[in-house]
């Protein structure tokens, strides 16, 4: 059993987003990782897919545009999104306020990916490092 208080967890900066790891994949029999994600105005993640993790999102504050496959959806507070492994997805905060959502994955080590991605700070110089991390964790950017 695990209890993590509201402000507790491991906070890491991953590109534009602040990720707070609440449950690490190594602490779950099914390799579930749970995190909150704060995205500043203009922030987001381009479309990508995961080889092994299925991922879910629960919107807590604000709205974001989410791409799922070839479609775009506006995700609002209390909306839930489930993305099976292998499905292209990404999100963008087009609003003038920060947004926050709860995210979790099952079946991989996305928490380890985030910890390594926190070392990517200087783009475009760190692009080779970023490409190696993406490849290591089976994450494929979409064209």
Per residue in 62-90, pLDDT (tens digit) is: 999 999 999 999 999 999 999 999 999 99
- Residue 3 belongs to some domain of the structure: no
Identify the CA nearest to 117 among candidates 107, 127, 108, 105. Answer: 127
- What is the Cα–Cα distance from 43 to 38, expressed in whole angstroms? 9
Determine the pLDDT at residue 7: 85
pLDDT at 1 over 90: no
Q: Is residue 2 part of a domain?
A: no
Query: Is 129 among the domain residues?
Result: yes
Asked if 58 and 102 count as a contact pair (C-beta separation under 8 A), the reply is yes
Judge whether 87 lies within some domain. yes
> Is pLDDT of 50 > 90?
yes
Longest dimension (CA), the chain: 42
User: Cα-flanking dihedrals φ and ψ of residue 137, to 5°?
Assistant: -100, 10
The number of domains in the chain is 1
Decide if pLDDT at 33 tops 90: yes
Identify which of 99, 85, 18, 22 has the alpha carbon closest to the alpha carbon of residue 55: 85
In a domain, 143, yes or no: no
**What is the reported pTM?**
0.93
In a domain? residue 33? yes
Domain membership flag for residue 81: yes
Domain of residue 97, residue span: 10-138
* Rounded CA separation 94/84 (Å): 25
pLDDT value of position 143: 81
In the three-class reduction of DSSP (H, G, I as helix; E, B as strand; rest coil), residue 39 is classed as strand
| Weakest-pLDDT range from 3-12, 58-67, 132-141 | 3-12
Among the ranges given (5-9, 36-40, 68-72), the one the predictor scored with the smallest mean pLDDT? 5-9
User: Closest Cα to residue 113, out of 8, 12, 9, 2?
Assistant: 12
- What pLDDT, in 10s, does the model give residues 106-135? 999 999 999 999 999 888 999 999 999 999
The CATH number of whichever domain residue 78 belongs to comes to: 2.60.120.10
Residue 5 in any domain: the answer is no
């Amino acid at each position: 059993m695990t209890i993590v208080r509201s402000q507790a967890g491991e906070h890491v900066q991953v590109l534009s987003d602040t990720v707070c790891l609440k449950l690490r994949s190594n602490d779950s029999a099914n390799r579930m990782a749970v995190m909150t994600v704060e995205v500043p105005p203009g922030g987001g993640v381009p479309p990508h897919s995961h080889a092994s993790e299925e991922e879910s999102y629960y919107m807590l504050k604000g709205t974001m545009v989410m791409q799922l496959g070839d479609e775009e959806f506006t995700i609002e507070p209390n909306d839930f999104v489930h993305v099976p492994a292998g499905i292209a997805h990404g999100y963008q905060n087009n609003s003038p306020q920060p947004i926050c959502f709860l995210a979790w994955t099952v079946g991989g080590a996305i928490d380890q990916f985030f910890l390594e991605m926190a070392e990517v700070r200087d783009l475009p110089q760190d692009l080779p490092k970023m490409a190696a991390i993406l490849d290591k964790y089976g994450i494929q950017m979409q064209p």
